[in-house]
Structure 1
Amino acid sequence: MRELPVKFDSRDPAVVADPYRVYAGLRAAGRLARGAAGQWVVSHHEDVSRLLKDRRLGHEYPPEYHEFSTGAGPANEFLKRIVLDQDAPAHTFLRGIMQRSFSPGLMRRLEDYVATQVDRLMAEAQERAGSDGLLDVVTDLAFPLPVTVVCELIGIPDVDRAAVRPYAVELAKAFALYVPPEERAAAHEAVAWLRDYVSGLVDERARRPADDLISNLLAARRTNPGFDRETLVDNVVFLFFAGFETTTNLISTAFSALLEHPDQLALLRDRPELAVPAVEEFLRYDAPIQATARYVKEAVEIDGRTVRAGRILVLLLGSANHDPARFTDPERLDITRDPNPHVSFGGGVHHCLGAALAQVEGRAVLRWLAHAPATPAAAGAVERRPSTTFRAYRSIPVRLEPAARPRVAPSA
Structure 2
Amino acid sequence: MSAPSLAPRFDALDPNVVDNPYPEYARLRDAGPLCRIGPGSWGVTRHADVAALQHDPRLGSEFPAGYHEVSVGDGPASAFFQRIMLYRDPPDHVRLRRLMSRAFSPAVVRQLRSYVEELVDELLVPAVENGRMDLVGELAYPLPVRVVCRLMGIPPESTEEVRRHAMNLGRAFTAVVGEHARAEADVAVRWLREHIGELLDQRRARRGDDLLSRLLDAEESGDTLSHDEIVDNTVFSFFAGFETTVHMITTGAAALLGHPDQLARLRADRSLVGTAVDEFLRWDAPIQGTARYVHEPIEIGGRTVRRGRVLVLMVGSANHDERRFSRPDRLDVGRTDNPHLAFGGGAHLCLGAFLARMEGAVVFDRLARLAVFEAAGPTVRERDTPFRAYASVPVRIG
CA distance in 1, matches of 2:127, 2:232: 33
- Mapping of 1:271-282 within 5 angstroms? 271-282=269-280
Asked whether the equivalents of residues 177 and 388 of structure 1 are also in contact (C-alpha less than 8 Å), the reply is: no
Letter in 2 for 1:79: F
CA distance in 1, matches of 2:99, 2:180: 36
- 1:72 is matched with 74
- 1:326 paired residue among 324, 327, 343: 324
Question: 3-state DSSP class of the match of 1:174?
Answer: coil
Unpaired segments of 5 or more residues in structure 1? 402-412
Deviations 1:160-187 (A, max 9, x none): 1122221121111121133233422112
- Mapping of 1:57-68 within 5 angstroms? 57-68=59-70
- 1:49 is matched with 51
CA distance in 1, matches of 2:190, 2:41: 29
CA distance in 1, matches of 2:75, 2:246: 27
Letter in 2 for 1:65: Y
Number of aligned positions between the proteins? 396
1:375 aligns with 2:372: yes
- Mapping of 1:100-115 within 5 angstroms? 100-115=102-117
What is the Cα deviation at residue 52 of structure 1? 0.6
- 1:394 paired residue among 380, 391, 395: 391
- 1:353 is matched with 351
- 2:87 is matched with 85
What is the Cα deviation at residue 125 of structure 1? 3.1
Asked whether the equivalents of residues 154 and 214 of structure 1 are also in contact (C-alpha less than 8 Å), the reply is: yes
Asked whether the equivalents of residues 8 and 28 of structure 2 are also in contact (C-alpha less than 8 Å), the reply is: yes
CA distance in 2, matches of 1:86, 1:227: 14
Asked whether the equivalents of residues 83 and 232 of structure 2 are also in contact (C-alpha less than 8 Å), the reply is: yes
CA distance in 2, matches of 1:167, 1:34: 33
Under a length normalisation based on structure 1, what TM-score does the superposition of the two structures give? 0.94
Instruction: Provide the identity percentage.
Output: 52
RMSD: 1.3
- 1:217 is matched with 215
- 2:311 is matched with 313
What is the Cα deviation at residue 355 of structure 1? 0.4
Unpaired segments of 5 or more residues in structure 2? none
Question: 3-state DSSP class of the match of 1:35?
Answer: strand
CA distance in 2, matches of 1:388, 1:119: 29
Asked whether the equivalents of residues 16 and 388 of structure 1 are also in contact (C-alpha less than 8 Å), the reply is: no
- Mapping of 1:234-313 within 5 angstroms? 234-313=232-311
Deviations 1:10-54 (A, max 9, x none): 222222111112111111111111112211110100100010110
CA distance in 2, matches of 1:338, 1:225: 40
Question: 3-state DSSP class of the match of 2:391?
Answer: strand
CA distance in 2, matches of 1:26, 1:184: 31
Under a length normalisation based on structure 2, what TM-score does the superposition of the two structures give? 0.97
What is the Cα deviation at residue 225 of structure 1? 6.7
What is the Cα deviation at residue 388 of structure 1? 6.2
Letter in 1 for 2:7: P
Question: 3-state DSSP class of the match of 1:380?
Answer: coil
CA distance in 1, matches of 2:318, 2:5: 23
